[in-house]
Structure 1
Amino acid sequence: MKMQHSLKTLSALILGLGTMGIAHGAGFQLLEQNASGLGSAYAGSAAIADDASTVYYNPAGMTMLPGMNVSAGVVAIKPSFKFSNGGTTGPTYFGDNFLGPFGGQPTGGPDGGDAGTWAAVPNAYFTWQVNQRIWLGLGVGAPFGLMTDYEEGWAGRYHSEKFSIESININPSIAFKATDTLSFGLGVNWMQLDADYRKAQYAFLDSAAGMNGDLEARVKAKGDAWGWNAGLLWQATPDTRFGLSYRSKVKIDADGTTRVSNRTLNATAAGVLTSAGVIGTHDAETSVELPDTAIFSVVHQLNDRWTLLGDVSWTGWSSIPELKIQNSGIPDAKLDLRFKDAWRVALGAHYRYSDAWTFKGGVAWDQSPVRDDAFRPASLPDNDRYWVSLGAQYRFNKNTKVDIGYAHLFVKSTSVNNTSDPQHAGVLKGDYKSSADLIGVQFSHQF
């Protein structure tokens, strides 16, 4: 019967939601692991070693910090994603032999409002000089995160309605000063990832009987894993320093649930789906291999006032070509993402106005791993962006300082024509107007 046939295919379609909640492009990697580098667009991050946050960017930099050092701060991030519908359509079919209710026709609904929302990225670091050769350090931060939140019932609701991801990374480290000019550092990382994703799912059982409408599908998953990072620091001349650092891939096996609930179906249809085992909570598990990163930095002391900084970094996003999810009681699913490795280039400068005040500025180009409109997800519609940053540092005395920084990210005009799953989610088609503002503050002290 048509209804029984639809139930079999519907259980498979719901699974499409679980794959995009774990990864959504460069936007969920957070470079903002301190506020002291924000004002110069994080140029020179692996070579500056100006405070204890070097534990994250290059552990070898700890050898530049005598005694004990602490640093703590927060960066607040407000992305903006405003969608303009350009012909978004609903799912094309719900079975092997018949068209669904939309048949690829427009879904209706608003454009979703501004899907960006404020997020805070906290961090804290500690370093300790054990002797003339060895340093120990500890860092705590959130290297992946952010959220998109659309209006319920928007045109692209079958792709995404709300997405959030949170992480915590604990990073003990050790550094060794091999010579007066060359240092090495090594760290281990324990990372936990927590994802929450929600979307609408259209259920078509019998249009003549009015047994069609939206379900709400939600995936919550959590997992943790270990990784490592390493770096070297070379003081090539009294005025020029180079840094090279690497952070490994982290493969996280996440466990959680897929919960399907009724939104607009009538009682009879909801009862059918409940008895069929579709509406309800299902165990879910998935794996994601978070990318490795490499940074090459240079810092040059031009004179007593000016310091110049440069940075080239690479992120191995191709570690996520696709995502799969396994569920109990309903079929498995796969999403084709086709992420590409990405580059970032940053230039910055510090100007020491006085013993107390230093002013900072920087620019950067940040490449997205999403290169094809057909695979750009609504959960975070990423694209290349340009940074313009300003900041200042105030020293209360030789041991205590505060940094503040601000950056605006200009995001390249973003079109989307997501055809990766037209049968199950429809086609998301339109344009995004995007940008982001970041503001941070950090306190650092040397004992």
Structure 2
Amino acid sequence: MQVRNARSQSQTKRFLPFTVLGLSGMAVSSSLFAAGFALRNHSASGVGTSLASDTVNTFDASGILANPAVMSAFKGNSISLNINYTDANIKAKNGTLTPGPQLRAGGIPGYPVVGPGSESEVSEPVVIPSIYNIYQVSEEVHVGWSFNVPYGTNTEYDNNWAGRYHGLKTELQAYDVGIHGSYKITDMIAAGISLSWQQAKGELSSAADLGAVNYAIVGAQARAGAIPPAQVPAALQAAAAGIGTNDAIGTYKGDSTAFAYGVGFLIKPWEGSRLGLSYKGQVKHEAKGDFKWGPTTAQAATTLAILSSGAVPGQNAGRFRNSDDAKLDLTLPPVASIGYAHDIVDFTVYANVTHTGWSTLKELNPEYNGQEVVTQLRWNDSVYYAIGADYRFSPEWTIRYGVGRDQSVTDTDHRTPRTPDGDRTAVSVGGSYKMGAFDFSAAFQQLFLEDTESQLNASAYNDNNGRGTFKAKYEISPSIAVVSAGYSF
């Protein structure tokens, strides 16, 4: 590749600051906690109705997760064990990456970035356990405890895929241990409260194009006269060959603990009907961990060493150094639900509306080595609607079915490859078998999502310039299977 000397020297001078700015964004570019990452499908009795029975589920002890007031409907003690198997089944297609305006102005060659634009398996299946326990203290008072995973996500792409500067690996597990209490105020109204301790652990990684940075450094050296004029064309040509192939992978790992609360009411307006109301407050996590660089080639290691040494004038070396004191503040959303159930002979019909305040996640501000890097999310609140029913065709057997509709928290201009979700329709079936004091349940849910797209514009904000404009399409077809076992005593 031939690169003209004078053009390269002058334009490299303009390009270098923007490359470094963009690179710092790439290091921790996307959300540690991805869009739409709430996990609500914990029990077979709930999943069987597509969560239409949330806030009014009195079949087993798992109902306390959505509304602690449902404990007032239980006679005696109850325990519920649940295993959830979720396969997100995400496929990325036709991914392309082109430079931002500052990189184009700098004349940096080698774009679009090479690398496969499709990934057949982005997310691995996961198994999620949960347990719920209810104790009746008196006619009016119940207490309980629970363990579940309220939030979680995992996506991972190959290190050389086209969208690597916008995201490689995202993994999150948030564990919740809760205590619950309910009080029957009257025969018509019961109130409940939940207090819980959460531990969140996460990892994110993305690549940084140190080949482009090295090209800029060579250009700056040529301009300063550090390279003999006769050798400049060959030096620039050699540096240009490394663009898009000499990456460093930045990985952030962190964990946090926080406390959460929830309140709920169960109202019986007339015989055979239940109205459930619940609210869970937002949870503020202050994650602490470390940030590490991992160069993929010898040239990337050399470039990283130059940057971290402070040898590049006007650039903050701390951006390119490892840190054992990285921080990330994150506020998990509040959730408000209203549900209704009505018994009709052997049928019970359900309806539910749940509002999740994802707008609490407008941006991320991770910090390491005294630097703050902003990643815009601009998530929106979402509303989930569901209707369902169960039919008890014998004292032992119950079947369930339900449908739900959920809104995406993001849009095409802000959908990252870390969590490429979209509007979805859920269809569920399930059933239960009672054998004395024991009950066994199973449910299956299939989610249908329209094909979604990402169009992340490099011009949207400064930290996106160095990452480039990324476009991709996604096929997403999640499926969920849950089995539960309960015991009443």
What residue number does 2:378 align with?
338
Query: Percent of aligned pairs with the same residue?
Result: 27
1:281-340 CA-partner distances (Å, limit 9, x unpaired):
21210111100001100111111x2111111110001111111111115x3110111111
Secondary structure of residue in 2 paired with 1:374 = coil
Contact 2:22 2:465 in 1 (8 A): no
Contact 1:93 1:100 in 2 (8 A): no
Matched, 1:242 2:307: no
Separation of aligned partners in 1, 2:168 and 2:95: 18
Contact 1:63 1:135 in 2 (8 A): yes
Separation of aligned partners in 1, 2:190 and 2:184: 4
Secondary structure of residue in 1 paired with 2:337 = strand
What residue number does 1:275 align with?
309
Counterpart of 2:402 (choices 352, 355, 362) is 362
* Letter of the structure 2 residue corresponding to residue 364 of structure 1: G
What residue number does 1:382 align with?
421
Contact 1:225 1:251 in 2 (8 A): yes
What residue number does 1:199 align with?
206
What residue number does 2:131 align with?
124
Alignment TM-score, normalising by the size of structure 2: 0.85
Counterpart of 2:24 (choices 1, 11, 14) is 14
Counterpart of 2:432 (choices 379, 393, 413) is 393
**C-alpha spacing 1:150/1:86, structure 2 compared with 1 (3 Å):** closer
Counterpart of 2:191 (choices 184, 194, 211) is 184
Separation of aligned partners in 1, 2:24 and 2:103: 11
* Letter of the structure 2 residue corresponding to residue 307 of structure 1: T
Secondary structure of residue in 1 paired with 2:472 = strand
Q: In terms of Rg, which structure is larger?
A: 2
Contact 1:311 1:345 in 2 (8 A): yes
Matched, 1:300 2:333: no
**C-alpha spacing 1:268/1:196, structure 2 compared with 1 (3 Å):** closer
Separation of aligned partners in 2, 1:126 and 1:200: 45
Matched, 1:444 2:486: yes
**C-alpha spacing 1:134/1:99, structure 2 compared with 1 (3 Å):** farther
Separation of aligned partners in 1, 2:148 and 2:200: 12
1:122, CA displacement in angstroms? 1.2
Contact 1:17 1:159 in 2 (8 A): no
Matched, 1:80 2:107: no
1:28-76 CA-partner distances (Å, limit 9, x unpaired):
1111132221111111210122211122110000011121111111111
1:120, CA displacement in angstroms? 1.7
1:279, CA displacement in angstroms? 5.1
What residue number does 2:55 align with?
46
Counting matched residue pairs gives 440
1:17, CA displacement in angstroms? 4.0
What residue number does 2:222 align with?
none
1:422, CA displacement in angstroms? 4.1
**C-alpha spacing 1:111/1:86, structure 2 compared with 1 (3 Å):** closer
Separation of aligned partners in 2, 1:322 and 1:5: 26
What residue number does 1:409 align with?
447
1:143-196 CA-partner distances (Å, limit 9, x unpaired):
000211112211111111111100101111110000111100011121111110
1:428, CA displacement in angstroms? 1.7
What residue number does 2:476 align with?
434
* Letter of the structure 1 residue corresponding to residue 276 of structure 2: G
Secondary structure of residue in 2 paired with 1:373 = coil
Which residues in structure 2 correspond to 1:66-215 (within 5 Å)?
A: 66-85=75-94, 87-90=96-99, 93=102, 98-102=106-110, 105-203=112-210, 204-207=212-215, 208=236, 209-210=238-239, 212=243, 213-215=246-248
Unaligned runs of 5+ in 2: 1-8, 216-235, 311-316
Unaligned runs of 5+ in 1: none
Bigger helix fraction: 2
Separation of aligned partners in 1, 2:158 and 2:340: 45
Secondary structure of residue in 1 paired with 2:465 = helix
Contact 1:36 1:441 in 2 (8 A): no
Contact 1:84 1:111 in 2 (8 A): yes
* Letter of the structure 2 residue corresponding to residue 98 of structure 1: G
Secondary structure of residue in 2 paired with 1:272 = helix
**C-alpha spacing 1:435/1:23, structure 2 compared with 1 (3 Å):** same
Separation of aligned partners in 1, 2:425 and 2:195: 31
**C-alpha spacing 1:101/1:252, structure 2 compared with 1 (3 Å):** farther
1:274, CA displacement in angstroms? 4.9
1:204-227 CA-partner distances (Å, limit 9, x unpaired):
244325365211111111111112
Contact 2:352 2:385 in 1 (8 A): yes
Separation of aligned partners in 2, 1:4 and 1:328: 26
Separation of aligned partners in 1, 2:177 and 2:341: 27
1:7, CA displacement in angstroms? 8.0
Separation of aligned partners in 1, 2:76 and 2:394: 25
Contact 1:261 1:280 in 2 (8 A): no
1:22, CA displacement in angstroms? 2.2
Separation of aligned partners in 2, 1:389 and 1:312: 17
Counterpart of 1:228 (choices 253, 256, 261) is 261
**C-alpha spacing 1:19/1:135, structure 2 compared with 1 (3 Å):** farther
Separation of aligned partners in 1, 2:326 and 2:17: 20
* Letter of the structure 1 residue corresponding to residue 364 of structure 2: L
* Letter of the structure 2 residue corresponding to residue 150 of structure 1: Y
Bigger strand fraction: 1
Contact 1:404 1:440 in 2 (8 A): yes
